[in-house]
Structure 1
Amino acid sequence: MKKWSFLLVMFSMILVLAACGGAKEESKTKSAGTETAKAEKMTIEHKYGEAVIDKNPEKVVVFDFGILDTLDELGVEVTGVPQTTIPAYLEKYAGEKYTNVGSLKEPDFEAIHAMQPDVIFISTRQAELYEQFAEIAPTVYVELDYTKYMESFEKNMNLVGEIFDKKDEVASAVEEIKASVEDLNKKASGLDKKGLIVLANEGKVSAYGPSSRFGVIHDVFGFGAADEKIEVSTHGQSITFEYIMETNPDVLFVIDRNSAVGGEAGAEKVIENELVKKTTAFKEDKVIYLDPDAWYLSGGGLQSVKMMAEEIEAAL
């Protein structure tokens, strides 16, 4: 009887020791998991400072539509977007599933603060408000360098890929776009045609040339410029319709700003007047109205850059 009691005590001790060992191993595993999670933080340096964020952030606020269309393409969920003016091709983000964080130029900081986002993406339109964003959450500023469009586009895409563990998907998409752009450049640069890019806004017209906001048409896509000396500025060079007639482009590219910001599309009535009708572009039916959503509101994203290249190729 004593022998059986002794064996029972020994067996119980073995079970207790095993349980303690398992608990220690579990504790070590949890500790290792915590250390791994901490190691997944990343520091992003940008023009206005730096942002320390966790990889794969869950609550994401996006104020740049190029970044938004990229996240959409990659299947990454976002939480808040400026719903006042959303490109038609991203209209699903106007739904109740997403928090409205104001407009591109007038963010709703109260709504953003209430969300407690993990990261906020902004770009040029919100640059002067960076400090206010950064007080709420880590804020990443993304920018397109118009003089190095494809390089800065690729840099931004790679950053998104790194943050959201989508490096392979981004690399594949970027290579596909670069290949199509290279093909487009060969076709466009081989033509003896000169283009002029204009922005129509409530009856006024401004022109954009190489190295400008819309200069990707010349610098990257390869379309010749009807005027190489257009002043480079965000808002373009103010011009007259006499200037368009005298410049006489073979192709006239038109972006309707009024339509982009929610107003009535009216560029055609403004542009196609008696002076413009004297140009080669009008006579040969080469007045091309570009998609204002892709060109004016977004641009610089996996979807928008592809759309922009396809529009210029169609113009050929």
Structure 2
Amino acid sequence: MPIPTSLRTTALLAAVMMALPALAHAAPVQTAAGPVEIASAKQVVALDVPAIDSLSALGVSLAGAPERLYVDYLADTAANTPDMGTLFEPDLEALAVAAPDLIIVGGRSVAHKDALAQIAPVIDMSIGADVLGDARARMTAYGALFQREERAAELNADLDARLARLAEAGKGKGRGLVVLTNGPKMSAYGKGSRFGWIFDAAGLAEAAPGLKVDRHGASITHEFIAQTDPDWLFVIDRGVAVGEAGDSAAKTLDTPLVRGTTAWKKDQVVYLDPTPLYIAGGGYTALTRTIDQLVGALSR
């Protein structure tokens, strides 16, 4: 017996509707390695804290994440998401059991991309030297991937509004130096580095222009800080960020040489909240927290 036209039409519409989620994910997603076509993003594991940060802001739930995320605002995500190893060592067995249809890597986990690709499609969403540009691009990509474009646009607009306030707060505030301490060791970061966006966003001149652009910064001494004599000293305590014991940044910097700088004398040594900046740098909440702290310091 021939199938009535109305039934054929209904069946066709149902088939189309069932295919829509897959088709929505078929469009290329912009990644750190270029556009990648994603067939499905229903069971997603993310192994990168900046990615998890931004996905959390979007309201995306994950099928797996590293066992420790460090930042306090992701405590619920860490507690309620299946463990998939650490930031540096993914648990391949746990990942195979989870059977994700997509794995997101970046930064500390990108080195395992090839091994992870044996389990599921992998995309690299690393944040590069253009931290602010990459952060916006990743948010836009996540919005498209998870069909939350409107929310992603709202979050990017909010980020831009905060950056505008930072640019205003930084006008005419002189020269800055960004220093990361690791116990007694110190490194400085300039423009083009992982923390160099601070200069660009705040409009501050570099107290030490031409620093080596390296993920680990340029090794410096107390004498270097004294000779540079910054108006503002922005400090990131790596030990606190990763929960290690040892000399605090405040103790490391409290020397006659540093106390003689303009930044110290004017009470313009700013201890930035290190965990979001160091661990989740480029994530939406990490950026907004750091920006708000910078605005508060520069507006005093």
- Give the alignment's TM-score, normalised by structure 1: 0.86
Measured in 2, the distance between the counterparts of 1:103 and 1:112 equals 12
Partner SS, residue 256 of structure 2: coil
2:84 matched residue in structure 1: 101
> Out of 120, 142, 149, which is 1:137 matched to?
120
Measured in 2, the distance between the counterparts of 1:230 and 1:298 equals 23
The AA in structure 2 aligned to 1:93 is: T
2:100 matched residue in structure 1: 117
The answer to whether the Cα contact below 8 Å between 1:44 and 1:140 also exists between their aligned partners in 2 is no
1:33 matched residue in structure 2: 17
Show CA shifts across 1:43-91 (max 9, x none): 3364557654245x22221122222122211211112111234211211
- What are structure 1's unaligned runs of at least 5 residues? 1-15
TM alignment of 1:1-316, pairs within 5 A: 23-42=7-26, 43-44=28-29, 46-48=31-33, 51-54=36-39, 57-95=41-79, 97-146=80-129, 148-191=130-173, 193-264=174-245, 266-316=248-298
The answer to whether the Cα contact below 8 Å between 1:62 and 1:78 also exists between their aligned partners in 2 is yes
The AA in structure 2 aligned to 1:128 is: A
The AA in structure 2 aligned to 1:172 is: E
Partner SS, residue 100 of structure 1: coil
Measured in 1, the distance between the counterparts of 2:136 and 2:85 equals 28
Residue 186 of structure 1, CA deviation = 2.9
Residue 127 of structure 1, CA deviation = 2.2
Partner SS, residue 255 of structure 1: strand
- Give the alignment's TM-score, normalised by structure 2: 0.90
| RMSD between aligned residues | 2.2
Measured in 2, the distance between the counterparts of 1:145 and 1:98 equals 27
Partner SS, residue 133 of structure 2: helix
Instruction: Compare 64-73 and 249-258 and name the one that shifted more.
Output: 64-73
- What are structure 2's unaligned runs of at least 5 residues? none
Measured in 2, the distance between the counterparts of 1:184 and 1:109 equals 42
1:9 matched residue in structure 2: none
Equivalent residue pairs, number: 296
Measured in 1, the distance between the counterparts of 2:104 and 2:152 equals 18
